[in-house]
Structure 1
Amino acid sequence: MAAALVVVFDFDKTIIEWDSDNWVVTKLGATDAFNRLRPTMSWTPLMDRMMGELHEQGKSAEDIRQCLRSAPLDAHVISAIRTASALGCDLKVVSDANAFFIETVLEHHGILGCFSEINTNPARVDSDGRLRISPFHDPASSPHGCSLCPENMCKGKIIERIQATDSAKNKHFIYIGDGKGDYCPSLKLREGDYVMPKENYPLWNLITSNKQLLKAEVHAWNTGEGLERILLQLVNKLITPPAQVTQVDYKCEISNPVSKEVGHHQTLPVPN
C-alpha cells in the first residue's frame, strides 16, 4: 500500500528522548575535554575531536556502539515508526547527529529498515579504528548560505531536495522535530503539510512566536505516547480509506545501508 505521505523525523530528542552526542561523551568519560574545548569550537568539529579523545583513551568504535545500544528508546516511538511504515508512509531521517550514531540506534531497535534514507553528518571509522565525523555541508568548500541554520547543515535545503524528487512530488509531508535547526525545514513545508514540534522546546517556541510564517498545520506533542497518537491520527486522516495494520505488518526489515557521499553531503539509502 503506497500512501501519498512523506514523514520526516529529526533524531536527537525526537526519535530518541536524549541527545546522542551528550550520551556518548558523558557515558564514555570525555566530559572534561568537552567542557574545555566547547567555548573554542563549533559543534561538529568538536564532536569529531571528542571521538579522537575517546580513541586516545582506548575506547573503540565497538565501545561507542555498545554505549549507544545501552540508551533507552520509548516503545511508543518504535511503535509509531513501525506502524507508519506498515501503512505505506515514506519515512526519512534529517538529523544533525551523525550516521554512525543513528544507524547504530535504529538497527539495535529493529527499525533501521523502516526508513528510506538518512540525511545526516557523515561518519566513518578510519584505518586506526578512530571514528571520524564530518559536516554535511562543508563550510569551507560548499557553504549553504542559510542564516537560520548552523554552518554544517541546513535542513531546509534537504527538505527542498526531497520535495523535488519524483517519489515525493505532490505528496503531503509531516515533519517531526524539536530543535532550532528544525525551524528552517518547517518553513519549507506547504499548505496541506503538517509540522509536529515538541512542546516547550526551541522549535515549538519559534513556531508559536509567529505562526503566520508557516503554511503547514501545527500539532504539538510532548511524550512518546503523544507523538505516536498524533502522528497516526494524521496518517489515517491522509490515507483514504483509513488503513488497517495487523501485528504481522509491524516488523520493519533490518538492512545495512551503504553510505554514499557526494562531497561532504551524505544521504544513506536504506533499501527495503
Structure 2
Amino acid sequence: MAPSPPAQQAPGVVVVFDFDRTIIDWDSDNWVITKLGATDAFHRLRPTMRWNPLMDRMMGEVHARGKTAEDIRECLRSAPLDVHVVSAIKTAAALGCDLKVVSDANTFFIETVLAHHGVLGCFSEIKTNPASVDVDGRLRISPFHDSATAPHGCSLCPENMCKGKIIEKIQAIAGAEKQHFIYIGDGKGDYCPSLKLGEGDYVMPKENYPLWNLICSNKQLLKAEIHPWNSGEELEKTLLKLVNKVISPPAQVSPVDCSKCESVTTELGHHQALRVPH
C-alpha cells in the first residue's frame, strides 16, 4: 500500500544536505579505506592524485585484495548514524519539505547508508559522483563534472564538482515559484553553494569546520541567515525550528507520515540505484 501523503504540505521548502560529516558524522571514503585495510595504498597514492580519481583507484585496490561490492556495502552499514539526524530527515520529509543530497561522495556509498537506515525514500534527488559495479565486480567512481569535456570553471570548487552550479540548477527549475532553501554542510565545498543562497534562505554550517570558518572570515558575503550546529541533536532542533519558521502556521506531523521513508526504501531495495540526472 502506498504511504499516505502528509496532512499538511510545506511547498517551497527545499532542504539540501551534504553527506560526509553532515548526515553522517564521519567520512565515508576514509571509513571504507580504513576498514577494508587499504590505508597504506592510500597514503602512497594521495600525494600524486586528486581526490575523485584517487577514490576510483582505491576501489581498484580494494577489489584487488579480494573485497567485493557487498563487502563494501557491509562496511558502510556497520557505520553509525545519529538517531537525531534520522529523526530530522523523517520529520522534515513528513512535513512536506523537498529533501535533496548534494555531496562529493558517490551514489554507491550514499544510497547504501541511507537505505540501511530507512531514509533513502525521504530524498527526491541525490546529486553526487556516479558509481557503478563493473562486469568484474569492481566498484567504479566517476566525476560528477567531466572536466575533460566541460570544465565547470569555478575557482572555489574541486574540478569534479561545483555544488554552487548544482544549487543554481535547482533554483532555476524552481522558476518563479518562491522557494526557501535550507542548506546544511560542513566542508570547503559547501561554501560556493552557500554564496548562491538569497534573502529568505538559511545556511546551517557545522561549527569549527571549514564551511563555518570560511563564513566567519566574512559573513557579509552571505545573504542567507546563518544558523550553526555542532551535533546531531542540534542539527535536528535547528532544522525543524527553521522549517516551522517558514511554514505558517506550523505544520503538524503524524507517526504515519514519518513512516513513508521506510516504505519507499523497502520498495527500492538496497541494490537499486536512484536515477540521478546530471
Same fold (TM over 0.5): yes
- Do 1:6 and 1:168's aligned partners in 2 also have CA atoms closer than 8 Å? no
Identity level (%): 77
Aligned AA (2:139): L
Matching of residue 187 in structure 1 with residue 195 in structure 2: yes
Q: Equivalents in 1 of 2:177, 2:43: separation in Å?
A: 44
Aligned-partner Cα distance in 1 for 2:124–2:25: 22
Inter-partner Cα distance in structure 1 for 2:87 and 2:207? 20
Does residue 155 of structure 1 match 2:163? yes
Q: Which moved more, 1:167-176 or 1:80-89?
A: 167-176
Q: Which has the higher helix share?
A: 2
- Equivalent in the alignment of 1:82: 90
Alignment pair present for 1:223 and 2:223: no
Deviations, residues 190-217 of structure 1 (Å, cap 9, x unaligned): 1000000000000000001100000000
Match of 1:204 in 2: 212
How many residues matched? 263
* 1:139 aligns with one of 147, 150, 154: 147
TM-score norm. by structure 2 comes to 0.92
1:34 corresponds to? 42
- What is the TM-score of this pair, normalised by structure 1? 0.94
Question: For the Cα contact (< 8 Å) 2:107–2:273, is it kept in 1?
Answer: no
Contact kept, 8 Å, 1:11 with 1:93, in 2: the verdict is yes
The one-character-per-residue Cα deviations of 1:227-261 (angstroms, maximum 9, x if unpaired) are 00000000001011101112222121315365547
One-letter code of the match for 2:40? D
Q: Quick one: distance in 1 between partners of 2:214 and 2:84?
A: 26
CA distance in 2, matches of 1:34, 1:128: 22
Determine helix, strand or coil for the equivalent of 1:124. strand
Matches within 5 A, 1:49-88: 49-88=57-96
Q: C-alpha root-mean-square deviation of aligned residues, in Å? A: 1.3
The runs of at least 4 consecutive aligned structure 1 residues that moved more than 3 Å come to 166-169, 257-261
Q: Residue 270 of structure 1 corresponds to which residue in structure 2?
A: none
CA distance in 2, matches of 1:51, 1:167: 39
AA matched with 1:26:
T
Q: What is the CA distance between 1:172 and its match in structure 2?
A: 0.3
**2:18 is the counterpart of 1:2:** no
Structure 1: runs of 5 or more not aligned: 268-272
